[in-house]
Structure 1
Amino acid sequence: MTLIDDEAPTLPNGLSAADARAEAARAYELDRAHVFHSWSAQAEISPMTITASAGSYVWDGDGKRLLDFSSQMVNTNIGHQHPKVVEAIAAQAAKLCTVAPHHANDARSEAARLITTHTPAGLDKVFFTNGGADAVEHAVRMAKLHTGRPKVLSRYRSYHGGTDTAVALTGDPRRWATDSGTRGVVHFFGPFLYRSQFHAETQQQECERALAHLEQVVAMEGSGTIAAIILESVPGTAGIMVPPPGYLTGVREICDRHGIVFIADEVMAGFGRTGRWFAFEHGDVTPDLITFAKGVNSGYVPLGGVVINTAIAETFAHRAYPGGLTYSGHPLATAAAVATIRAMEDEQIVENAATIGAEVIGPGLRELADRHPSVGEVRGVGVFWAVELVADRATREPLAPYGSSSPAMTETIAACKSAGLLPFANYNRIHVVPPCTVTADEARAGLEILDRALDVADRHVTGER
């Protein structure tokens, strides 16, 4: 951890330490007076102020440098302040800041072309949105209009966004407060061997039984009523549960047999996060619709979208698609996407994510699991990993209850931050999700901090050590 002070007088953005602290204090004051935060009880939060960022690091309001193992919202895949993307945004702003979505412009056209160079054959059309949730909204709308069917199936332990349909599809507690149960959504259990719903003992059993369960849900709901099955190719904030071999292939087969649209939600897992351009590539399947956001331009300017296959695109060849957004394919956002994708290609960023996961993060986390009784399981791929923390390894009692936190988790997260690591935490898990550009040395440094923080979690273990 580096402390920015009078001996190290400037931050990466050129602010002096004193000016950065003054700016941070003012920002915090105004935030608490006027900003309404998402997913929060407003009077009970003390948000961290970020004053600067560079590469794999951010600087907080006190001048502390923290290694960003959260990638913010798991979206800064190319790291902070990548110069090629910053330059592209500035150049586009000087050229054409905004344009109505019914006009063509070169930034949007090139972004669509580049995206489809990394999708399977036959997925050649891109509808741009402002983010992941509205990408899901539109993908579902397209599927329903294409099939003429009213229902969509999604799994428990999933997250698809905070807007109306997207949050109804979500299979975790963020749905509960606003769930009316009237959106034509049916939830099912996906494979998760560590907390199996199917009494499975192996990944193969878990896969077979999860697919049999899904087949039964389709039969009970009536296959002719189901427009789509939507899956995060690797569920993200719900737990980074990499599907067992054969599962996505089995879902694809069920969809084909019943005329159901297969939507791959790649909002978090896409654009390098799992060491592939898209996470569904690990399952060797081709979806009908792909939703994306986050990593497409690392969140530098809000952008999302839906990649559409030929059959669904043809549905709207001579029939107007009833949907649109004022900022669909905004030139600043799509210029950022063009620069991001080119940087990822030129700098082999996707390959770096795969290497770091296989050679540093995966082995490192497994070593931590061997040493710390609070670690029930580690799982992941690429730079997309979860550390499942438990109070008792035998019973697998989570260190925080489902849908909530706990003093033990709060203390563990605080230990990470005080030592210079910014983690991503959800319920009883710490997710290890640094930028895809993270170096081996940075990844090892982060794991060393996490190792020490887990000593705090170990003190809360009640079961056998």
Structure 2
Amino acid sequence: MSTNQQTLDLDRAHVFHSWSAQGALTPFVIAGASGTEVWDYDGNRFLDFSSQLVNINIGHAHPKVVAAIQEQAAILPTVAPAHANLVRGEAAARILAKAGPTFGKIFFTNGGADANENAMRMARLTTGRDKILSTYRSYHGNTGAAVVATGDWRRVPNEFARGHAHFFGPFPYRSEFWSDSPEQEAERALHHLERVIVAEGASSIAALLLEGIPGTAGVITPPPGWWAGVRALCDKYGILLIVDEVMSGFGRTGDWFAWQNPELNPDGVVPDLVTFAKGVNSGYVPIGGVVISESIAHVFDDQVFPGGLTYSGHPLAAASIVASIDAMVEEGIVENAATIGREVLGPGLHALAESHPMIGDVRGLGVFWALDLVTDRETREPVPAATIGALKKELMDRGYLPFTADNRIHVVPPCTVTAEECLRALAILDEAFTAVEG
């Protein structure tokens, strides 16, 4: 019979973990999962309000997706990307139907990092320019150019790619621009962005790479006017707009893509390229891709695209995409995420903040939220790492699996989460904050 200890022993003996010093690790053991719950071999059950890496949008072990993978494995478990395959075409068609009529093709990749790599490559080849601008508060993946496009600390020891520059995006709660309103934050951030474009040389810039909502950086919902202003600057200077929807896409915000959310993008701004990955099939099988506008796709009608991947559009992954999108439509899962955010999680987290002074800010929508924790609400000084560690322990002890980053707790359950599960989670969060504060 399998045990937690057996699993840990094997892991510590043989597995090298990402983003970690290896010596002191004690990974959390997961033996199985269903819906919004995971469990270990000792029978302990946890509400998964991390969605693992904020990607289990359809919930754990959704039977329709599992069945689709099993059925495809019996028909054709793998196929080279140069061949035509029905399920790959169906997956591409499903995604394009949600992206909208300005998009025409899907280039499939293995995950989000290489989706961003290839989107940047397409932008460079289309424009004949080299440079990519992205924000400091961002994460775009851990491959050569994607990690350099990333703005956070992980970029610094990996800066081997050329042609990247960074700027500060809008963040009303922790403004770099001394703003006193979201509207002013957008105005000043756009002024800063234009100054960076000019200073870097507008004619050298191929694309802006921006997350639909910066996720790992703190679920930073863009203020009114941001997307319209970005699109206007791109059009003014002949720069392409790439939107990274790896974390924010496929239901997470209560929309198929964050850039389609009418609250965030009331002007209906449309990007030139969209990247996606784990959310499209909840990571059941690794896959990612680039949603390509018709105009950019036509650039490569006669020009060779110099890129490819052995597992591009892998049939098991493609089958899981078709089943996931169909189930999300049939079961109203995207609508559920929007309703949960509007009626349960949003009000519940704001009520939690009223009871706990440590919660300085509540940000988010759909099932994509962050609690920004502070030692003092006036100074907005972030809580130390020890406080996050203590909160994580209290939450885990109560059967809640959290997603933590810096001084924040991200509240990011599957899009299938129920109101009852959210109320349980809110009660656990209340207890954990009370224990740490008291």
TM range (shorter): over 0.9
Q: Does 1:448 find its partner at 2:417? A: no
Matches within 5 A, 1:14-53: 19=1, 22-53=2-33
Secondary structure at the counterpart of residue 339 of structure 2:
helix
Quickly say closer, same or farther: Cα 1:49–1:380, change in 2 above 3 A.
Answer: same
Partner residue, 1:188: 167
Partner residue, 1:403: none
Moved over 4 A (4+): none
Q: How many angstroms does 1:245 deviate by?
A: 1.4
Separation (CA, whole Å) in 1 of partners of 2:5 and 2:69: 28
Separation (CA, whole Å) in 2 of partners of 1:135 and 1:107: 20
Partner residue, 2:394: 415
Partner residue, 1:4: none
Q: Does 1:429 find its partner at 2:401? A: no
Q: Is the contact between residue 409 and residue 457 of structure 1 (CA under 8 Å) also seen in structure 2?
A: no
Q: How many angstroms does 1:120 deviate by?
A: 2.3
Q: CA RMSD for the aligned pairs? A: 0.9
Partner residue, 1:272: 251
Q: How many angstroms does 1:23 deviate by?
A: 4.1
In structure 2, what residue type is equivalent to 1:166? A
Partner residue, 1:392: 376
Matches within 5 A, 1:78-93: 78-93=58-73
Matches within 5 A, 1:281-292: 281-282=260-261, 283=265, 284-292=268-276
Partner residue, 2:122: 142
Separation (CA, whole Å) in 1 of partners of 2:434 and 2:198: 48
Q: How many angstroms does 1:392 deviate by?
A: 1.3
After superposition, give the CA deviation of every residue in 1:99-124 in whole Å (9 maximum; x if it has no partner): 00000111100000000000121212
Separation (CA, whole Å) in 2 of partners of 1:23 and 1:94: 31
Q: Does 1:128 find its partner at 2:112? A: no
Partner residue, 1:11: none
Indicate the larger mover: 84-93 or 162-171. Answer: 162-171
Partner residue, 1:161: 141
Partner residue, 2:320: 336
Separation (CA, whole Å) in 2 of partners of 1:32 and 1:168: 30
What's the % identity of the aligned pairs? 59
Partner residue, 1:217: 196
Partner residue, 1:116: 96
Q: Is the contact between residue 104 and residue 297 of structure 2 (CA under 8 Å) also seen in structure 1?
A: no
Partner residue, 2:281: 297
Q: How many angstroms does 1:457 deviate by?
A: 4.0
In structure 1, what residue type is equivalent to 2:207? A
Q: How many angstroms does 1:83 deviate by?
A: 0.2
Which consecutive residues of structure 1, in runs of 5 or more, have no partner in the other structure? 1-18, 401-405, 460-465
In structure 2, what residue type is equivalent to 1:292? F
Determine which of 341, 348, 355 is the counterpart of 1:357. 341
Instruction: Report the number of matched residues.
Output: 433
Q: How many angstroms does 1:318 deviate by?
A: 0.7
Secondary structure at the counterpart of residue 388 of structure 1:
strand
Q: Does 1:204 find its partner at 2:183? A: yes
Q: How many angstroms does 1:25 deviate by?
A: 2.8
Q: How many angstroms does 1:351 deviate by?
A: 0.3
Secondary structure at the counterpart of residue 186 of structure 1:
strand
Separation (CA, whole Å) in 2 of partners of 1:443 and 1:324: 42
Q: Does 1:74 find its partner at 2:61? A: no
Determine which of 311, 331, 347 is the counterpart of 1:327. 311
Secondary structure at the counterpart of residue 99 of structure 2:
coil
Secondary structure at the counterpart of residue 286 of structure 1:
coil
Quickly say closer, same or farther: Cα 1:101–1:23, change in 2 above 3 A.
Answer: farther
Partner residue, 1:373: 357
